Homo-oligomer: A and B are copies of this chain.
C-alpha cells in the first residue's frame, strides 16, 4: 500500500513564522498550489488557518543546485514547489542526462514514483527555491478519511497522465520552431495560472536543459530564440524573456508557418 503514518501539521499555510520566500521572490499562494486539495483534506483550511506547526507537510528551502531527491533514492514523499523552479532529469552515464520536466511554483515533484520503489529521476533546484514536502508514508496518521486523501491523489495522478500524453503526442510531431514557441507559451501559461507573471519571466534553465527537454540541440534552441527576437515575437535579454506577440507565437506553435492553418505538418 501507498499510504500510512502519523499526524503533523505544517506551517505551510501560514506566512507567520516563514520567510517571505527564499530571497523575496514570487511565491505561489496555497490556493493555487497543486497540493492544495490534499492540504485541505489534512485540515489546512482557508489561508493562514490557526493550525499547529506541521509534521505531515514540511516546508523546506532548497539552494540552487541542490537535489531534493535523486534517481534511485527510496521513495518517501512528493513535493510541491512553493517558489523557484526545478528540473527533473534521468542521469545518463557519461552525459549530462536527459531532462524530463521543469517544475514551477505550485507544481508537483515526485508523483511519478508513487507506485515505484524508488524515484526514477533526480530533481534539482534551478535557483534558490522552497518546497512543501508531503510524506506519503505517513498520511494515514492524519486521522483524516483515507478515501478522501486517496481520491485527491488519484486526481493528481490522472492529471499527470493526461498531461504527459498530451505533451508527448505534440512534441513528437512538431518542428523545432513549434516546440520552442509552445514551450514559451506553456511556461507563460503555467506561471499565469499560479498567479505569477506570464508576460515576462526568467528562463531559469540553461539552453542545453531546454534542448534536452524538447529533443533539440542547444544550438538550435539558441538560434530559434534569436530568430524569434529578430521577428519581434519575444524580447530576450540574458535569461529574461518577455512575450511580445503572443498571437504570433500561437500561430507558430500551432504549425501555421505563414499561410495555411494546416493541422500538424
Give Cα A156 to B98, complex, Å.
Answer: 25
Q: Is the CB of B173 within 8 A of A263?
A: no
Q: Is the CB of B111 within 8 A of A161?
A: yes
What string of 1s and 0s marks CB contacts (under 8 Å) between A117-159 and chain B? Answer: 0001100000000000000000000000011001101111111
The answer to whether A168 has its CB under 8 Å from any CB of chain B is: yes
Q: Which of B100, B150, B212 contacts A151 (CB 8 A)?
A: B150
Q: Which of B101, B112, B155 contacts A158 (CB 8 A)?
A: B112
Give Cα A214 to B172, complex, Å.
Answer: 7
| Given A150-B150, A166-B120, also A173-B215 (CB < 8 A) | yes
**Minimum C-beta distance from A209 to chain B (A):** 13
The answer to whether A169 has its CB under 8 Å from any CB of chain B is: yes
Interface size class of A (residues with CB under 8 A): 35 or more
Q: Is the CB of A263 within 8 A of B2?
A: no
The answer to whether A223 has its CB under 8 Å from any CB of chain B is: no
Q: Is the CB of B158 within 8 A of A116?
A: yes
A positions within 8 Å CB-CB of B: 1-3, 90, 92-95, 98-101, 111-116, 120-121, 146-147, 150-151, 153-162, 164-169, 171-173, 212, 214-215, 262-264
Query: Residues of B contacting A95 with CB < 8 Å?
Result: 263-264
Q: Which of B99, B172, B212, B262 contacts A171 (CB 8 A)?
A: B172
**Minimum C-beta distance from A248 to chain B (A):** 22
**Minimum C-beta distance from A182 to chain B (A):** 14
Question: What is the oligomeric copy number?
Answer: 2
Give Cα A225 to B42, complex, Å.
Answer: 54
Q: Is the CB of A115 within 8 A of B263?
A: no
Give Cα A156 to B171, complex, Å.
Answer: 25
| Given A147-B146, A160-B161, A168-B164, also A154-B115 (CB < 8 A) | yes
Q: Which of B99, B100, B155, B171 contacts A2 (CB 8 A)?
A: B155
Query: Residues of B contacting A161 with CB < 8 Å?
Result: 111-112, 114, 157, 160-161, 164
Query: Residues of B contacting A212 with CB < 8 Å?
Result: 173
Residue of A112, A156, A166 contacting most chain B CB atoms (<10 Å): A112
Q: Is the CB of A112 within 8 A of B162?
A: yes
Query: Residues of B contacting A150 with CB < 8 Å?
Result: 146-147, 150-151, 153-154
A151 nearest in chain B by CB position = B1
